[in-house]
Structure 1
Amino acid sequence: MKILVIGPSWVGDMMMSQSLYRTLKARYPEAIIDVMAPAWCRPLLSRMPEVNEAIPMPLGHGALEIGERRKLGLSLRDRRYDRAYVLPNSFKSALVPFFANIPQRTGWRGEMRYGLLNDARVLDKAAWPLMVERYVALAYDKGVMQSARDLPQPLLWPRLQVSEAEKQQMRATFRFSDERPVIGFCPGAEFGPAKRWPHYHYAALAEKLIAQGYQIALFGSAKDNDAGNQIIAALPEAQQPWCRNLAGETALEQAVVLIAACEAVVSNDSGLMHIAAALDRPLVALYGPSSPDFTPPLSHKARVIRLITGYHKVRKGEGEQGYHQSLIDITPERVNDELSSLLANQEN
């Protein structure tokens, strides 16, 4: 059986989609699974053993371009896929499998996709509260799974593969000391500081950890570099060499390997948080206005800290420097306690 998956365009969603690939491979061991997704996803897909090939989606996230999608679909006809799974809910995401003439095209009904999908499922959000459950449900025939309670347990959570040799080589490439274990911080988040734990809290936690014999690696994109610099600047001068700002300095492939080499990770709600969970790293995940109810970190080694309930759609925090008060209220002491507990469990 040959399967084409139209994958998501966000890091966290892409990570959770691996649960579908793992489930399909478990159900159909001989299946060949290709995933079409933005080219930046390749470093993630290449570490998912269930995926045969990552096919770059050359069109932008918001581009309709029906003509180009038709050409893309026609170019895939010779591959003779038996099934397609369309994970985004948009109209345009269902066009390529339709033009590729794939016999069975499965997905949640989404926006006006009648005809494009011939195996369209109607989503009852209450029956499928988690995104990962919605992805996994598509691996089963229509009507077989009525709710998340019907899915076989435990779910096959995302798991990226990184070798020990790769970890050692990447640590050497970025000149991390072998004298101290590395704790990773992911201080960035989409939509700015409202969903970030304050930089001064990260600095206070880093100060404690460096005093305990750790070194700190700060991960993120180029837009998170300033936040990383703020964290380092808030440290005592003698400790600053033990805190490295890698935000914007690493390709995604390098960041994945370095996160895998970390002893543990502290992260805001972000794509890197989901990567850390998929790498099975002890993880403290910090939530404010965004909610873990739909897309929690999928790991038994993850601890979520959140002081409020419900979802709060915000783009600007009401606290100092644009931070959300619910994140300001999470103290470095609380995070350190959770992290210490995770590290102690890791040693046992």
Structure 2
Amino acid sequence: MTQTVHAPQWPEDFRDRLTAPLPDFRELLSAAWHGGFRPDIGDADQIPVLRGGGLPRVETGQTAVTWVGHSTFVVQVGGLTVLTDPVWSRRIPGTRQRLTPPGVAWSDLPKIDAVVISHNHYDHLDAPTIRRLPRHTPMLVPARLGPWFTRRGFRQVHELDWWDSTKIGDVRFDFVPAHHWSRRTIWDTCKTLWGGWVIGESVYFAGDTAYGERLTQIGERYPGLDLALMPVGAYEPNWFMKTSHVNPAEAVQGFLDVGASRMATMHWGTFLLSGEELLAPIISTRAAWSALGLPRESLWDLAVGESRTFTP
């Protein structure tokens, strides 16, 4: 059974949700230079990849997450298999092909019970991957993004505003705020919403976010989260990225703000989107974690394809 909290009544756009000015043309050109044409990928072979690991067997009451790469996880929770921002393509518009292969082969996926989308940027909403899904797959998407899916034949599309929730089976999905923005073409800036997801009242998937007060608000609304899936890459040059993405230290602080028990890293090691060295996101995250004296076992700095399991 699927249930959505209320019928959608959306504004024409969501610019009033912005917490920072949108990038101008000069900034976009700079970002394209750092992300699309940065030549040094010599460390790509050091990005950890677990090959052939597959998906773990999950016992009743357990939750498992498997990092496929970038912001894509397979989340096994409450008897469901859920995909976050699924991207299995070799490349996305404006970037080189992916540095590491998907951590789970598409052919090894079980039936997908739900897909959650954080926003419409190409590294989070990948049309070739979405086309591979059966059209009866429930798609949980931000406000005003639903027509993108219904035009492609999807029949169970659930649009949510911030703090709205829906249920698939016994698992609740809550759409929560983020410090970010949306744009897929030059004509649709902020026409659709952006955000993160709380899955099963246990797992927080941040999507893309800068640092700010909305992280604390999420923690206040959802006390006792077990796991935060936090982005740690795409933060240089800082003058451009700081209004859209957390850096590693901010990701760790954001994890503390939402009050989760564990943090898993994502949004690094897959696509060239920014100017930092390839391994800097994970090295800096470990350093920030250690500097705060946080327990090492609570940092899940996963390899591509690696899984972890916990019991809430």
Structure with greater proportional strand content: 2
Normalising by structure 1, what TM-score?
0.28
Larger RCO, structures 1/2 (Cα 8 Å, 6+ apart)? 2
When Rg is computed on C-alpha atoms for both structures, the one with the higher figure is 1
